[in-house]
């Protein structure tokens, strides 16, 4: 499933399909999207997250990064007024204490390669190395999310661990 150079598109699609089946069963609202013409494959979840007694709208995406050959994570989070949170606001929402410099080396804002508008994106350069260090992974999406969820305050139900 994990090559030393890249994760195949087929492995990503297989993992995404398995992940979304569980999501459907537990009503977690992840959806799998494919656009064969644009060669874009991603799973998406629109939800609300609570932090410090405030409710925020969030959109999370995991897409197959054709350039790096790995899953990549992107997201946006908005205040109830509709204003997009800043990168610093998101760092403060993190479930783990992380220095500014370290956080900014992992997450940045850029034009999304699939949607063509600004999103916060996790740098994909270390993803392969991270996933390859866990060779017994049964699902790369679950493994990937379990590694990054504390950074962005995303809850991952335990049922995904049964894959």
- Say which residues have a Cβ less than 8 Å from residue 80's Cβ, sequence separation at least 6: 54, 55, 56, 57
- Say which residues have a Cβ less than 8 Å from residue 53's Cβ, sequence separation at least 6: none
Ranking 17-26, 30-39, 144-153 by mean pLDDT, the lowest is 144-153
Which class for 136: exposed (0-12), middle (13-18), buried (19 or more C-beta within 10 A)?
exposed
The residue extents of the domains of the chain are 9-126+139-155
Catalytic residues: 125
Q: Which of 17, 18, 123 is nearest to 65 (CA)?
A: 123
Report the predicted TM-score, pTM, of the whole model to 2 decimal places.
0.85
b/e per residue, 9-31, with b = 16+ CB within 10 A?
eebbeebbebbbebbeeeebebe
Cα 92 from Cα 96, distance rounded (Å): 9
Kindly state the tokens that stand for 51.
């932090």
What pLDDT band is residue 95 in, cutting at 50, 70 and 90?
low
The predicted model gives 137-153 an average pLDDT of 79
Is residue 2 scored above 60 in pLDDT? no
Q: State the greatest distance between any 2 C-alpha atoms of the chain, in Å, as a whole number.
A: 45
Higher pLDDT, 65 or 95: 65
Kindly state the tokens that stand for 54.
């405030």
Domain 9-126+139-155 sits in CATH at 3.30.1460.50
Higher pLDDT, 120 or 5: 120
pLDDT at 139 (0 to 100) = 83
HSE-CB at 128 with a 13 A cutoff on CA atoms is: 15
């Amino acid at each position: 499933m994990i090559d030393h150079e890249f994760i195949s598109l087929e492995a990503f699609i297989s993992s995404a399909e398995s992940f979304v089946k569980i999501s459907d069963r537990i009503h977690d609202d992840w959806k799998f999207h494919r656009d064969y013409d644009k060669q874009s494959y991603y799973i998406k979840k629109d939800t609300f997250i609570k932090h410090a007694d405030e409710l925020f709208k969030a959109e999370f995406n995991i897409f197959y990064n054709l350039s790096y050959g790995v899953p990549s994570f992107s997201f946006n989070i908005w205040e109830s007024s509709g204003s997009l949170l800043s990168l610093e606001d998101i760092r403060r929402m993190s479930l783990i204490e992380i220095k500014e410099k370290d956080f900014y080396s992992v997450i940045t804002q850029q034009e999304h390669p699939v949607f063509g508008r600004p999103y916060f994106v996790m740098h994909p350069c270390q993803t392969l190395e991270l996933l390859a260090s866990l060779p017994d992974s049964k699902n790369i999406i679950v493994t990937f999310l379990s590694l990054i969820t504390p950074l962005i305050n995303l809850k991952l139900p335990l049922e995904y661990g049964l894959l």
